[in-house]
Amino acid sequence: MSYFRTAILLAGLTGLFMGVGYLIGGAGGAMIALVVAAATNLFAYWNSDRMVLSMYGAHEVDARTAPDLHRMVRELAGRAGLPMPRVFIMDNPQPNAFATGRNPQNAAVAVTTGLMQSLSREELAGVVAHELAHIKHHDTLLMTITATIAGAISMLAQFGMFFGGGHRDSNGQGGGLGIIGSLAMMILAPLGAMLVQMAISRTREYAADETGARICGQPMWLASALSKIENAAHQVPNMEAERAPATAHMFIINPLSGQGMDNLFATHPSTANRIAALQQLAAHSGGGGFVPPSPRPMPSPSAAPRGPWNGGGTRRGPWG
């Protein structure tokens, strides 16, 4: 059902793009918008992973430079029936992660240094499994396409406002929207695109949580990780994400400050709802329950204790 809903939302986003093109240039404008959409999607298909990884200063690691993390990703990818993705680390104090790539054969998983410092091996395995689930579902390509189309709709609406906001009929008479209509288009079209993009993102997060929990075999590992990341995301800023908010939907938890409830304007479902769904899955599979800890202030990056992923711990779990 989630795939059907995603397909409907994506079709609606493409239709909105063509509709804006029609309002600006009639039938010809709609066709131009369709061509632009195809061109932007083709560009995103081939270049999205390199662009976003470069944006966040991610550097690739291997079995020599990050043996524990690399081994964990390899083992979980094997459990998921996926080829080994490339593994990247972002030098960022906020615990977070995302996956990118046009298909499972050209995928990458990126985690922050803050994530590796603050989570246990089991919790990190839950996060990695969630990102592998996005790769397995081809969500990495889908979310890039939706972000690209949404951005193109915004640019197209601004273009229409700049050039008069409407096409003319065969007699040269104004058939456009007028000033008020142009203003409404400039505001409502990008808003509608943003709402559809966020609805797609929320749908895919629930599906990735469930599949990720099944990949790692313990829903509560992911539930515990989500609680910790949610607490930290409100306290530790991610400046790269703040400068590029269009990429916020890619992360496992919204990296932007001020994330609210699970509503139309949220890029992610509420973490409480996600944990509740994982608790229900664990109960059905005999995995027990999880009680999120009380929020507490995060230490500054310079004062952060060294954990099992940055050389300070000796505890070894099933993934190390």
CA atoms within 13 A on the CB side of 37: 24
Give the distance from CA 212 to its chain's centroid. 15
Helices (H), the chain: 2-55, 67-80, 113-118, 121-136, 139-162, 178-216, 219-233, 239-243, 271-285
Q: Residue 179 and residue 202: Cα distance in Å, rounded?
A: 35
Q: Residue 298 and residue 79: Cα distance in Å, rounded?
A: 33
Q: Residue 203 and residue 6: Cα distance in Å, rounded?
A: 7
Let me know if 242 is a catalytic residue. Answer: no
Under DSSP, is residue 315 helix (H, G, I), strand (E, B) or coil? coil
Q: Residue 153 and residue 17: Cα distance in Å, rounded?
A: 6
Under DSSP, is residue 90 helix (H, G, I), strand (E, B) or coil? strand
Cα–Cα separations (whole angstroms), residue 97 to 126, 189, 195, 250: 11, 30, 23, 8
The H-or-E segment that residue 88 falls in is strand 86-90
- Of 75, 122, 123, 131, the active-site residue reads 131
SS (H, E, C) 160-210: HHHCCCCCECCCCCECCCHHHHHHHHHHHHHHHHHHHHHHHHHHHHHHHHH
Q: Residue 147 and residue 70: Cα distance in Å, rounded?
A: 29
Q: Residue 291 and residue 272: Cα distance in Å, rounded?
A: 11
Under DSSP, is residue 293 helix (H, G, I), strand (E, B) or coil? coil
Catalytic residues, by residue number, are 131
